[in-house]
């Protein structure tokens, strides 16, 4: 990630305060900012065997970059910008905030929000998307069963460790958006490896 993005999004590297998380190791830290105020953190493991993504106790749930979907000013980088999603543009919904940052940097023609997890979507976020009226919404959760599904390989991998299949959360979200009148579709992972994410595609140059 370019240093300019690290600075603009206030990214950091360090451990959580004691007793606020099960992980005591240093991690990549992404501040969660709402109307100019830090309301929590989302962090990625770097070398430890703890959960890949965690938030410390006290962090609030929000849609990362969600203020892009309102007509008010956008405060995601700590200062106000007129950076809402213009009507007619493409909006990507993905899992993690770092991939949202990278996607917008590498594809300036699209906007990206991150849900911080595949089970986190809130009904009020659907209303935000409806009011923003993007030309198309692409749900690009990870290429696994809980995310966008992973196709037959994803189903088979899931059933090796679980007693029954599930409906992928990406499919649920697309259906909810379609029901709300939004032009939504799943990202076509095609032959990508299982568990691939948008960051993988970017780093590979796809």
Domain boundaries, the chain: 1-60, 86-204
Give residue 114's pLDDT: 96
Q: Which two tokens stand for residue 131?
A: 């009011």
Q: Are 5 and 11 in contact (CB under 8 A)?
A: yes
Residue 141, phi then psi, degrees to nearest 5: -65, 170
Give residue 85's pLDDT: 54
- Which positions of the chain have pLDDT values less than 70? 71-88, 205-206
**Across all residues in the chain, what is the average pLDDT?**
88
Give residue 206's pLDDT: 60
Give residue 20's pLDDT: 92
* Count of beta carbons in the 10 Å neighbourhood of residue 197: 21
Residue 101, phi then psi, degrees to nearest 5: -65, -50
Rounded Cα distance, 176 and 169, in Å: 10
Rounded Cα distance, 74 and 126, in Å: 18
Rounded Cα distance, 183 and 52, in Å: 31
Give residue 13's pLDDT: 93
Axis crossing angle, helix 123-132 with helix 169-179, rounded to the nearest 10: 50
Give residue 78's pLDDT: 42
Query: CATH classification of 86-204 is 3.40.1360.10, yes or no?
Result: yes
Rounded Cα distance, 94 and 190, in Å: 17
Domain 1-60: CATH superfamily is: DNA primase, catalytic core, N-terminal domain (3.90.980.10)
Query: If DSSP codes are grouped into helix, strand and coil, which group holds residue 155?
Result: helix
Q: Which neighbouring-strand residues pair with 92?
A: 112, 138
Q: Are 81 and 73 in contact (CB under 8 A)?
A: yes
């Amino acid at each position: 990630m370019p240093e300019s993005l690290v600075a603009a999004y206030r990214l950091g590297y360090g451990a959580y305060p004691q007793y606020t998380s099960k992980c005591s190791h240093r991690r990549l830290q992404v501040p969660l900012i709402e109307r100019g105020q830090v309301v929590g953190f989302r962090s990625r493991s770097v070398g430890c065997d703890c959960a890949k993504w965690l938030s410390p106790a006290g962090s609030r749930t929000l849609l990362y970059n969600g203020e892009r979907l309102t007509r008010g000013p956008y405060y995601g980088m700590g200062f106000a910008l007129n950076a809402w999603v213009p009507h007619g543009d493409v909006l990507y919904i993905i899992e993690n905030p770092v991939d949202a940052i990278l996607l917008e940097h590498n594809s300036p023609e699209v906007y990206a929000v991150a849900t911080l997890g595949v089970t986190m979507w809130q009904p009020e976020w659907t209303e935000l998307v409806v009011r923003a009226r993007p030309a198309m919404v692409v749900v690009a959760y990870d290429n696994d069963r809980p995310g966008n599904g992973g196709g037959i390989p994803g189903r088979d991998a899931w059933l090796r460790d679980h007693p029954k299949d599930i409906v992928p959360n990406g499919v649920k979200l697309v259906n909810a958006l379609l029901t709300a009148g939004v032009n939504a579709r799943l990202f076509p992972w095609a032959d990508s490896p299982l568990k691939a994410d948008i960051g993988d595609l970017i780093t590979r140059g796809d």
